[in-house]
C-alpha cells in the first residue's frame, strides 16, 4: 500500500462511524478505516464500503502511516476510558501539529483536560459534538467542533463539506476553545430531552384527556408540523403515531419506561453547578427516572386516588391551546439552554457565537426546527442579548401563548394528568417576569436559623445580621450565596 494517501482516519466502525466514513467518501475525501476488532475493518471494506475509495488499516501504526500531514484522526468510540486509551496509543505514533478529534458524546471536562494535556505534547485536540443519529451521520450531521483552535483550518473543509446545510449554510462552525464543542452538544442533548418530554405530555393529554385515537393524534401532529412547531421531533411523532404492523398500532404496545445515556443528566448537573435555573431539562430527566419506576407505579395506580382524567370541554379549542402551550414551553426550554451557555462561556472564557450555534442546530440534528432561525435572528440583532425572552419576537410569542399554557396546565391539574415540563415552563416564565420574589423571606429565614446575613434594598453589597430572638447573638456566619 502506498503511504500518505488518506485525508483523514476514523477509528470506530459502529453504525455512526461507518456512516460518517461513507459521507466523507461521497464528498471526495480518502478515509482510512480502523477498528479495535480488526475483523470489522475487513467486513466493512467488503460490504458497506465496497466500490468506494475507503482504505483499511489493521494496526494503528499502519493507519497513521497512510495519513497526509498534518495527520487527522477522528475517534468515534465509547466516551470515557476508551478515548483516553486510544489517545495514549496514538501519541507516540504522531508528530507535532497532528490532530486527534473525539466525535463521541464525551463529558466537556474530559475534553478540556485532553485539549490541555495534548497541547503540551504538540498534538492538537478537538472535541466535536456530532448530532443527527445514523441518518445524519450518513447524509449530513450537525457538527459542533471545539478544542484547540489551531486545528480548525485543517479540518474545516472536511467538516463543512459533510455536515447538513440550512438555507445553503453549513450546520457546522468552530464553537470555541477546550470543552466548548462538547458543552454545546451536551446542552443540545438537554434541550432534546426537554423537547421530547413536552411532546410526550401533549400526547398524554390527547390520549387520556381528549381520548383521541392514534390516527386522530397523528393528524394533529401533522397540522402542528405546518405551524411554528415545524420540527424533526414533531414530524417523527406524527409518523410513530400512525405506524402499524401486523398486530395493529405499535406505539401502544411499547413499555412506558424511558432510558437515557446521561447527556440530559449532565446538563441538569451543569445547571446546578453554574446556578442557572434550567428547570425544564431537569424535569425532563426526572420524568425519565419516574418512568423507570414501572412496578411501583402499577402498584400505586391501585392504591392512590385521583380525578377522572377526561376533558369535558371543546376538544378542538383545547388542541389549539395545547399547540400554543407546547410552543411556549419550547421557547422557555431554549431560553434556559442559552442561559446555561452564556454562564459557562463567562466562567470558561469561551467566545461563543449564539446565533452561529442556533444555525448549527437548524439542520442535521435531532432538535432541528424552523424556529431556530428566529433564535439566530435574535442574536444577529443583539449579540449581547441576556435572555431570549427579552427579544421582541419571543416576548411577543410568549404574550400570545402564555394564556393557553395556563389553560392547559390548569386542565391537566384538574384531570390529574402529570405535565411536569409544561408546568415548570410556565412557573419559570412567571418567576422570570416577577420583579419581587419571596426570596426576601427565605433570606430572613436563613439569617434567623444560621446567621447567614442578608442585604437591605437600596444597600446592596452590605451584608447584615439581625438578632431575631433577642438571645441569638450578633455574630454572623461567613457570607455566601446560596
Residue in the block written with cell 401502544: 252
What pLDDT shows up at residue 480?
52
pLDDT digits (tens, 9 = 90+) for 237-294: 999 999 999 999 999 999 999 877 677 889 999 999 999 999 999 999 999 999 999 9
What pLDDT shows up at residue 363?
79
Q: Is the pLDDT of residue 450 over 80?
A: yes
pLDDT digits (tens, 9 = 90+) for 177-225: 999 999 999 999 999 999 999 999 999 999 999 999 999 999 999 999 9
Residue in the block written with cell 497526509: 68
Distance CA 258, CA 245 (A): 22
Residue in the block written with cell 405530555: 201
- Residue 252 DSSP one-character state: G
| CA–CA–CA angle 240, 363, 221 (5° rounding) | 30
192 is catalytic: yes
pLDDT digits (tens, 9 = 90+) for 347-396: 999 999 999 999 888 877 788 888 898 999 999 999 999 999 999 999 99
User: With bands split at pLDDT 50, 70 and 90, how would you rate the model's confidence at 63?
Assistant: very high
Helix segments in 391-432, DSSP class H = 392-415, 420-432
pLDDT digits (tens, 9 = 90+) for 73-85: 999 999 899 999 9
The model's pTM is 0.91
DSSP codes, 50-89:
TTSS-EE-SSHHHHHHTBPSSPEEEE-S-TTHHHHHHHHH
What pLDDT shows up at residue 365?
79
Q: In what helix (H) or strand (E) does residue 267 lie, and over which residues does it extend?
A: helix 263-274
What pLDDT shows up at residue 479?
53
Q: Is 16 annotated as a binding residue?
A: yes
User: With bands split at pLDDT 50, 70 and 90, how would you rate the model's confidence at 1?
Assistant: very low
**pLDDT (mean) for 42-48:** 96
Cell of 403: 394564556
Q: Is 255 annotated as a binding residue?
A: no
Candidate list 185, 265, 330, 376, residue with the active-site label: 185
What pLDDT shows up at residue 371?
87
Do 135 and 18 touch, CB atoms closer than 8 A?
A: no
Q: Is 132 annotated as a binding residue?
A: yes
88 is catalytic: no
List domains and CATH numbers for the chain.
8-174 (3.40.50.720), 185-433 (1.10.1040.10), 438-481 (1.20.5.320)
Q: Is 14 annotated as a binding residue?
A: yes
What pLDDT shows up at residue 187?
94
Candidate list 177, 192, 228, 283, residue with the active-site label: 192
Amino acid at each position: 500500500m502506498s503511504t500518505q494517501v488518506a485525508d483523514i482516519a476514523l477509528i470506530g466502525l459502529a453504525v455512526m462511524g461507518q456512516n460518517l466514513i461513507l459521507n466523507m467518501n461521497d464528498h471526495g475525501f480518502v478515509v482510512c478505516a480502523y477498528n479495535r476488532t480488526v475483523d470489522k475493518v475487513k467486513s466493512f471494506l467488503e460490504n458497506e464500503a465496497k466500490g468506494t475509495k475507503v482504505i483499511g488499516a489493521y494496526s494503528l501504526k499502519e493507519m497513521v502511516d497512510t495519513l497526509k500531514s498534518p495527520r487527522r484522526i477522528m475517534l468515534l468510540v465509547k466516551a470515557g476510558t476508551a478515548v483516553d486509551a486510544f489517545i495514549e496509543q496514538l501519541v507516540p505514533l504522531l508528530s507535532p501539529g497532528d490532530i486527534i478529534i473525539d466525535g463521541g458524546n464525551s463529558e466537556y471536562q474530559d475534553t478540556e483536560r485532553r485539549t490541555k494535556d495534548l497541547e503540551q505534547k504538540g498534538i492538537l485536540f478537538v472535541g466535536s459534538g456530532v448530532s443527527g443519529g445514523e441518518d445524519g451521520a450518513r447524509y449530513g450531521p450537525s457538527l459542533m467542533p471545539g478544542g484547540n483552535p489551531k486545528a480548525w483550518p485543517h479540518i474545516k473543509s472536511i467538516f463543512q463539506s459533510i455536515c447538513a446545510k440550512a438555507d445553503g449554510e453549513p450546520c457546522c462552525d468552530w464553537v470555541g476553545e477546550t470543552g466548548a464543542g462538547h458543552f454545546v452538544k451536551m446542552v443540545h442533548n438537554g434541550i432534546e430531552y426537554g423537547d421530547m418530554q413536552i411532546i410526550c405530555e401533549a400526547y398524554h393529554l390527547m390520549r387520556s384527556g381528549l381520548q383521541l385515537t392514534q390516527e386522530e393524534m397523528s393528524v394533529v401532529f401533522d397540522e402542528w408540523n405546518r405551524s411554528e412547531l415545524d420540527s424533526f421531533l414533531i414530524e417523527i411523532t406524527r409518523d410513530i403515531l400512525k405506524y402499524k404492523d401486523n398486530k395493529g398500532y405499535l406505539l401502544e404496545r411499547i413499555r412506558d419506561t424511558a432510558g437515557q445515556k446521561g447527556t440530559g443528566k449532565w446538563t441538569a448537573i451543569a445547571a446546578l453547578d453554574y446556578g442557572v435555573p434550567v428547570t425544564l431539562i431537569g424535569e425532563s430527566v426526572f420524568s425519565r427516572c419516574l418512568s423507570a419506576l414501572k412496578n411501583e407505579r402499577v402498584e400505586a395506580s391501585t392504591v392512590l386516588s385521583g380525578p377522572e382524567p377526561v376533558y369535558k370541554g371543546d376538544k378542538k379549542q383545547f388542541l389549539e391551546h395545547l399547540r400554543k402551550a407546547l410552543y411556549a414551553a419550547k421557547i422557555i426550554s431554549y431560553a434556559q439552554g442559552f442561559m446555561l451557555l452564556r454562564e459557562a462561556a463567562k466562567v470558561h472564557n469561551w467566545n461563543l457565537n449564539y446565533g452561529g450555534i442556533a444555525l448549527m442546530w437548524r439542520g442535521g440534528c435531532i432538535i432541528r426546527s424552523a424556529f431556530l432561525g428566529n433564535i439566530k435572528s435574535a442574536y444577529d440583532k443583539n449579540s449581547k442579548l441576556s435572555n431570549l425572552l427579552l427579544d421582541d419576537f419571543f416576548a411577543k410569542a410568549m404574550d400570545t401563548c402564555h394564556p393557553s399554557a395556563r389553560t392547559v396546565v390548569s386542565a391537566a391539574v384538574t384531570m390529574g394528568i402529570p405535565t411536569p415540563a409544561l408546568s415548570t415552563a410556565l412557573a419559570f416564565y412567571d418567576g422570570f417576569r416577577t420583579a419581587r420574589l419571596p426570596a426576601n423571606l427565605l433570606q430572613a429565614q436563613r439569617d434567623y436559623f444560621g446567621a447567614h446575613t442578608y442585604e437591605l434594598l437600596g444597600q446592596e453589597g452590605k451584608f447584615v445580621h439581625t438578632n431575631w430572638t433577642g438571645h441569638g447573638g450578633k455574630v454572623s456566619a461567613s457570607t455566601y450565596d446560596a
